[in-house]
Amino acid sequence: MSNRYKFLPIFPEILLDTNSNNAVKLSDKIMKQIFISISTFMWRIKRANIGHALRLSSLLFLFWIFTATVLAVSPPSPSKIYSLAFFAPRGEGDPFWGLFIGFMQKAVNDFGAELRVHYADGNREKMRQQIAREATSINRADVLVFPNFKKGGENFLKIIEENQVPAFVVNSGFTEDEQVGLPREKYKFWIGELLPAEQDVGALLAEKLIEEGLRIQVGSNKLPLEMIGITGIVSDYAAIQRTKGLQQIVKDYPEIRLRQIVPANWSEDDAAKSFSMLKRRYPNVTLIWSASDVMAQGVIRSAKILGLVSGKDFLVGGIDWAQAGLQSVRKGDQHVSIGGHFMEGGWAVVLIYDYLKGSDFAELNLSWRSSMASVIAPEWQKQKKRRESIKPEFIDFKRYSRFLNPENTSYDFGLKSLIAEK
């Protein structure tokens, strides 16, 4: 046997790892072995022909050994380095998820933890397999973090429940028809969720486009103005909720006619093809609502090929604050971008860190929602300070932790706090 392991005195069934500095959780099997050994030892003492004092000394020694054993495998010490595993639905280099992971990595670094990132490359089954491998790994992460990607979230929760590993859901949640309930109800190891207020975001984007379209009478068309929507993957929570926001706002504007909403799978190329097709079908369309900045770039590219001028012949807006989207807003090609939710990667780490440290966010809430803000072309320069403040290197995520700052009665994840920090 390797020198790494040695028998625990009087408990021949139990081995200690002499190289490990981390705490190890007692398994049911080991607990059973300990109590069998205790019973055997007590029986031997009882049968032995020894005096009362020696028998008492033996029992005290037994108590000391048992206490030492339990402490050796007790829950993590304060010096434990926590690890998180994040499962990104797309590939490395994705504009939005790159930002999301960047904020998440900065927060993990601030707390002295570790982050493992797995990329699903748009494949739900691949993500499921990645989650299953991590959950069953000997060196699995302390908490698994993932979105409800293409409605695969409940299968992911079943994996973490079976393996009793905590999980936190971000970015894309569950629709009513999925019937998974709330965190810590049906799935006890689903500890919480942090999601964008997606329906509000979709409504805000529609409102910004409609108000500007009515103000400038874009395209010089008579009322009603015609509008189309280009959304993401039809089964994605974000696409569903953002589209609901669009439909909700249009009802409040009789001057607007929403012609059609089509899916473009979060793809720039698909969005370019969709816009070209819809523009032929509805030649008077001037307002283009896009569920992402990436798809908005496809619309802009296709519009230029058709000889259309942004701000004169059409208005387009998107969501995500992707770099390409912000640059399009700066140049005036895109009227508006709604975003800021990529910071949720960092905010999720704050909540998870406090949970692991025993300052459970459940005292306040289990289902968190983040807000977003708009950047519009006419106010690009005026909003410059706010945009420059929202960078990972300018944020100290430790100041948002309730465990490290007991005076904090809640969590302030708003944009204003970031600007004040800088």
pLDDT in tens, 161-217: 999 999 999 999 998 888 899 999 999 999 999 998 899 999 999 999 999 999 887
pLDDT band at 68 (very low <50, low <70, confident <90, very high): very low
**For the chain, which domains are there?**
5-72 (no CATH), 83-196+342-371 (3.40.50.2300), 199-339 (3.40.50.2300)
Please give the backbone phi and psi of residue 8, each rounded to the nearest 5 degrees, phi first.
-80, 130
pLDDT in tens, 328-369: 999 999 999 998 888 899 999 999 999 999 999 999 999 998
**Nearby residues of 325 by Cβ (< 8 Å), 6 or more positions away:** 293, 294, 296, 297, 318, 334, 337, 339
pLDDT band at 236 (very low <50, low <70, confident <90, very high): confident
pLDDT in tens, 72-112: 444 444 568 999 999 999 999 888 899 899 999 999 999 99
CB 243 within 8 A of CB 203: no
Share of the chain above pLDDT 70, in %: 77
Alpha-carbon span 314 to 322, nearest angstrom: 21
**340: closest CA among 267, 294, 389?**
389
Residue 248: both structure tokens together: 């909700």
**Total residues found in the chain within this entry:** 422
Please give the backbone phi and psi of residue 64, each rounded to the nearest 5 degrees, phi first.
-65, -45
Residue 350 is predicted with a pLDDT of: 97
Residue 24 is predicted with a pLDDT of: 39
Q: 308-344: string of b/e by CB count within 10 Å (b at 16+)?
A: bebbeebbbbbbbbbebbbebbbeebbbbbbbbbbbb
* 46: Cα separation from own chain's centroid: 58
Whether the upstream peptide bond of residue 166 has omega within 30° of 0, thus cis, is no
pLDDT band at 235 (very low <50, low <70, confident <90, very high): confident
| DSSP codes of every residue in 191-246 | EEEEEE-HHHHHHHHHHHHHHHHHHHTGGGPPSSEEEEEEES-TT-HHHHHHHHHH
In this structure, the number of other CB atoms found within 10 A of the CB of residue 4 comes to 11
pTM of the model: 0.72
**Nearby residues of 245 by Cβ (< 8 Å), 6 or more positions away:** 198, 199, 200, 201, 202, 203, 204, 205, 206
**333: closest CA among 319, 315, 320?**
315
Residue 175 is predicted with a pLDDT of: 84
Tell me: pLDDT of 67 over 60.
Answer: no
Dmax (CA) for the chain in angstroms is 107
**41: closest CA among 60, 28, 15?**
60
Could you give the angle at which helices 293-305 and 323-331 cross, rounded to 10 degrees? 50
CB 317 within 8 A of CB 310: no
Least confident of 31-35, 268-272, 345-349: 31-35
Task: Tell which wins on pLDDT, 198 or 31.
Answer: 198
* Sheet-wide strand order for 143-146: 114-119, 83-88, 143-146, 167-170, 190-196, 367-370
CB 407 within 8 A of CB 395: no
